[in-house]
């Protein structure tokens, strides 16, 4: 820490969260200089420096000029942001803040290093970290063909049936088909947005976003109320790639944004997959280029995708259930699991009442149990997966 | 050479050709024991031993038992074959024999080692070796879809327009579309058959084979009159793969014979390419498996294919003309080239008369000049490629 910054007592978690809420409103997502600053300093110290004009030393690897150019912009914006107000308004809309170190923080994002999100704004019934324990990104063109929409829907539906969470970008076309297929398949789906999670952009997806909030998660680096812009879409794509071990491009034209997500996936060492299509279709040109020039794996169905993402030697899909031993569950999760009936499914409220948990707490634990392979979503609630009795049961 | 075989004076080329003609009728194509025998002995000595019952020592790497089991079968068949009669009947049908060492022998077949053809029976206006100087194999299912037929035709047409010879198997479906596209594109095409080149199998391709004989080559390891069988198709596939530096599988179902050709191509170190298709089509399943599990290169058009087969740094197709310098042409080829008009095209007979060659000799040289990038087939004969004047011209 530099001599120019005042030493503070260790900030509280609430102070850190408020500071990151403020930073998410004042600084562009993915800014690597802020990312580097936050690697060596509490967020509250950075935030205070922006608000008070106190000096900030450039972080390791960055010049004073790089920081200076940004500071002016950041300070101007920070003066207009009241973190407590942003947080309380978000809370009123059912939007929560998730920051590094929180139980819900998806730690796979840490591979983004300096470009790790400063904070995530999350809305929805599911726990983001749990949802992404077994997840795959499915992306593609907005202007999709009937073929692409069919493949995205079918693939995501089957992935969901096998307990995989589908992550996508909430856009028209392939993204929308991926989310809808996943919802119909009965699993959580995660929409990573380039605007506030309250913004309903694109407008035609308002109803879809409501369903995702009910059975999955909407997530964004932008605070509630933020409008989307072109740069935000590109920066957002790195999150889609980083949240999962693999990205499938279902359909992409010559200049599709999906190619950008694919590049992020490859750069992060994730498995890059592409769905082939007719060579006569302009909407498959991008996929074929990924196959030809970027060593993308050719996948034609959910089974191919699961095989690519499963450890070598794992059971083929259908048989395969990654299950955490019941003895490794914490007491609360175990109690909830025991409260579920042997047959049939129950809603969250019933499961909560039977286990003595609040509905919110029950829902979080159900997500965890699903990720651990003990329960799954059914059409009307949640059910045990056969053979999932606890050792105490 | 073993002490059990009588030392002969060196046999003449005609004796060797007759012996190989006999062997092609008495021994299965691709038999590796005969291939090994022929690596260390003149064909005439092997043929005489089969006909007279004289002893034959097993070739290096093979046991006496492996040879003994075959010899009985070979001798029984050899007794029924009169090589001179086979050759003269073939000649009457316009069918010629090509053996290793002949100017028309495609030496890229030598990479097949022990499984190199014992002899080739050839019918058609083009020189086999010249045709294959710049060639690519295009294969696929008999039961092709409209999509596959369209892609095979289009790709082969464009390949031919760029001076590439298309090699295929003469079957219904993709093979037929590949040959037809190549003929329409104005280049030679080579059909490698699993039966005699006079057999017109499949029957519905009689007219197509006549066109290929007129503007390309029909080739087979089987003597005239030989009927096809399942084994012959599989053995034939290795020739399609070996004749060219790359094989494109346009469409292939789960159990297509094209996968066999693809396996040969890969084993021989040739470039394996596959055309993607809709994942909803059963006829693209084989292509997608080649892309996913066999590192086939994804190609969507003739340009992709040419790029794969061209040296790194070569001009992109359209600009690209592999041309042998006119000063490297022999006198006869140079004389023929100079006899062609500056503009427009002429038939073989006119070109022959103008250059003082027989039509047969003129046709062979035209093939050579085309392979060298100086002339090309036009709708009505042959024409110079602009800029192809000889240094003497």
Q: Which residue of A has its CA nearest to B278?
A: A277
Predicted pLDDT of residue A1: 44
Average pLDDT of span B295-306? 97
Q: pLDDT (tens digit, 9 = 90+) per residue, A58-85? A: 999 999 999 998 999 999 999 999 999 9
A129 compared with B358, residue with greater pLDDT:
A129
In chain A, alpha helices (H): 13-26, 32-40, 43-52, 64-78, 83-92, 128-131, 146-161, 174-184, 206-215, 230-243, 258-267, 285-293, 302-309, 331-339, 348-355, 359-371
User: Are A284 and B276 within 8 A, CB to CB?
Assistant: yes
Average pLDDT of span A367-393? 63
Span(s) in chain A for CATH 1.10.10.10: 326-384
For the ranges A2-6, A179-183, A335-339, B230-234, the lowest mean pLDDT is seen at A2-6
Neighbouring C-beta atoms of residue B269, cutoff 10 Å: 9
* Cα(A385)–Cα(B259) distance, integer angstroms: 41
In B, what residues contact A, Cβ < 8 A? 147, 150-151, 275-280, 284-285, 288, 291-292, 297-301, 304
Residue B202 burial (CB < 10 Å; 0-12/13-18/19+)?
middle
CA-based nearest distance A103→chain B, Å: 38
Residues B243/B135, Cβ–Cβ less than 8 Å = yes
User: Are B278 and A277 within 8 A, CB to CB?
Assistant: yes
Average pLDDT of span B81-98? 97
Tell me if residue B247 falls in helix, strand or coil.
strand
When scoring A147, A148, A300 by the number of chain B Cβ atoms within 10 A, the one with the most, hence best to mutate, is A300
The answer to whether the bond into B202 is cis (omega within 30° of 0) is: yes
Residue A244 has pLDDT above 80, yes or no: yes
- ipTM for the complex? 0.74
Among candidate residues A250, A195, A245, the one with its CA nearest the CA of residue A223 = A195
Task: Tell me how far the alpha carbon of residue B372 is from its chain's centroid.
Answer: 18
* Cα(B77)–Cα(B28) distance, integer angstroms: 11
For the ranges A12-26, A108-122, A347-361, A378-392, the lowest mean pLDDT is seen at A378-392
Tokens at B199, concatenated: 């057999």
Residues B272/B298, Cβ–Cβ less than 8 Å = no
Residues B171/B278, Cβ–Cβ less than 8 Å = no
* Cα(A291)–Cα(B276) distance, integer angstroms: 10
Residues A70/A31, Cβ–Cβ less than 8 Å = yes
Q: Which residue of A has its CA nearest to B150?
A: A280
Decide yes or no: CATH 3.40.50.300 for domain B124-309.
Answer: no
* Cα(A91)–Cα(A153) distance, integer angstroms: 33
CA-based nearest distance B177→chain A, Å: 17
| Residues 6+ positions from A41 with CB-CB distance below 8 Å | A1, A5, A59
Q: Which among A147, A292, A297 has CB closest to B292?
A: A297
Predicted pLDDT of residue A8: 60
Neighbouring C-beta atoms of residue A68, cutoff 10 Å: 11
Q: Which residue of B has its CA nearest to A305?
A: B292
- The DSSP code sequence of B181-236 is HHHHTTS-EEEEESS-TTS-SSGGGHHHHHHHHHHSEEEESSPTTPPP-HHHHHHH
When scoring B278, B286, B295 by the number of chain A Cβ atoms within 10 A, the one with the most, hence best to mutate, is B278
Which residues, listed in sequence order, are joined to residue A249 by a DSSP beta bridge?
Answer: A139, A274
**Intra-chain end-to-end CA distance of chain B, in Å:** 53
Q: Which residue of B has its CA nearest to A154?
A: B280
Q: Which among B280, B288, B300 has CB closest to A279?
A: B300
Confidence of residue A3 (pLDDT cuts 50, 70, 90): very low
Average pLDDT of span A211-235? 94
Residue A320 has pLDDT above 90, yes or no: no
Architecture of domain A326-384: Orthogonal Bundle (1.10)
User: Are B151 and A280 within 8 A, CB to CB?
Assistant: yes
- Dihedral-angle region of residue A275 (phi above 0 means left; psi in -120 to 50 means alpha; beta otherwise): beta
User: Are B291 and A276 within 8 A, CB to CB?
Assistant: yes
Pairs across A and B, CB distance < 8 A: 57
For the ranges A323-337, B21-35, B303-317, the lowest mean pLDDT is seen at A323-337
Predicted pLDDT of residue B314: 63
Predicted pLDDT of residue B35: 97
Residues of B whose CB is below 8 A from A284: 276
Residues A159/A302, Cβ–Cβ less than 8 Å = yes
Predicted pLDDT of residue A239: 98
Residue B244 burial (CB < 10 Å; 0-12/13-18/19+)?
buried
Provide the percentage of residues in chain A whose pLDDT is more than 70: 88
Predicted pLDDT of residue A224: 97
Residues B309/B297, Cβ–Cβ less than 8 Å = no
User: Are A297 and B301 within 8 A, CB to CB?
Assistant: no
Among candidate residues B91, B89, B281, B170, the one with its CA nearest the CA of residue A284 = B281
Residues B368/B128, Cβ–Cβ less than 8 Å = no
Q: Which among A291, A292, A300 has CB closest to B279?
A: A300
Quickly count helices (H) and strands (E) in chain B: 16, 11
Degrees (nearest 5) of the Cα angle A195, A200, A202?
A: 85
| Residues 6+ positions from A311 with CB-CB distance below 8 Å | none
- Dihedral-angle region of residue A387 (phi above 0 means left; psi in -120 to 50 means alpha; beta otherwise): left
User: Are A301 and B279 within 8 A, CB to CB?
Assistant: yes
Q: Which residue of A has its CA nearest to B288?
A: A298
User: Are A277 and B275 within 8 A, CB to CB?
Assistant: no
Q: Which of the 8 DSSP states describes residue B346? A: B
Among candidate residues A324, A345, A302, A365, the one with its CA nearest the CA of residue A164 = A302
Predicted pLDDT of residue B285: 97
B296 compared with A383, residue with greater pLDDT:
B296
Predicted pLDDT of residue A231: 87
Average pLDDT of span B339-351? 77
Q: Which residue of A has its CA nearest to B301?
A: A279
Residues A178/A149, Cβ–Cβ less than 8 Å = no
Q: Please give the mean pLDDT across all residues of chain A.
A: 89
Residues of A whose CB is below 8 A from B300: 279, 285, 288, 292
Q: Which residue of A has its CA nearest to B290?
A: A298
Q: Which among B277, B291, B301 has CB closest to A278?
A: B277
Tell me if residue A53 falls in helix, strand or coil.
coil
């Amino acid at each position: 820490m530099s001599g120019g910054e005042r030493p503070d007592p260790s900030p509280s978690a609430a102070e850190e969260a408020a500071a990151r809420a403020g930073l998410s409103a004042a600084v562009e997502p993915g800014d690597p200089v802020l990312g580097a600053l936050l690697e060596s300093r509490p967020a509250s110290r950075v935030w205070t420096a922006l608000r008070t004009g106190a000096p900030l030393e450039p972080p390791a690897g960055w010049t004073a000029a790089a920081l200076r150019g940004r500071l002016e912009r950041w300070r101007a914006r920070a003066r207009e942001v009241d973190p407590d107000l942003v947080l309380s308004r978000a809370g009123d809309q059912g939007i929560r803040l998730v920051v590094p170190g929180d139980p819900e923080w998806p730690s796979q994002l840490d591979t983004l290093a300096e470009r790790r999100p400063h904070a995530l704004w999350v809305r929805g019934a599911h726990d983001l970290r749990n949802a992404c324990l077994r997840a795959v990104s499915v992306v593609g063109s907005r202007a999709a063909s009937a073929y692409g929409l069919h493949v995205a829907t079918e693939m995501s539906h089957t992935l969901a049936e096998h307990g995989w969470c589908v992550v996508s970008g909430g856009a028209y076309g392939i993204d929308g088909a991926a989310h809808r297929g996943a919802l119909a398949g009965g699993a959580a789906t995660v929409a990573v947005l380039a605007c506030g999670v309250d913004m309903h952009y694109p407008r035609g997806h308002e109803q879809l976003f409501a369903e995702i909030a009910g059975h999955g998660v909407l997530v964004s680096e932008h605070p509630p109320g933020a409008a989307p812009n072109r740069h935000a879409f590109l920066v957002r794509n790195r999150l889609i790639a980083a949240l999962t071990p693999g990205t499938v491009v279902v359909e992409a034209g010559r200049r599709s944004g999906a190619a950008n997500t694919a590049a992020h996936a490859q750069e992060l060492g994730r498995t890059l997959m592409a769905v082939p299509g007719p060579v006569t279709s302009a909407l498959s040109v991008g996929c074929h280029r990924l196959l030809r020039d970027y060593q993308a794996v050719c996948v034609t169905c959910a089974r191919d995708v699961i095989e690519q993402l499963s450890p070598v030697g794992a059971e083929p899909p259908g048989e395969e259930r990654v299950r955490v031993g019941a003895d490794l569950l914490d007491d609360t999760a175990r109690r909830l699991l025991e409260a579920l009936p042997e047959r049939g499914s129950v809603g969250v409220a019933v499961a909560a009442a039977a286990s003595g948990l609040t509905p919110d707490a029950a829902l979080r634990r159900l997500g965890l149990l699903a990720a651990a392979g003990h329960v799954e979503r059914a059409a009307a609630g949640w059910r045990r997966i056969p053979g999932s009795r606890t050792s105490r049961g």
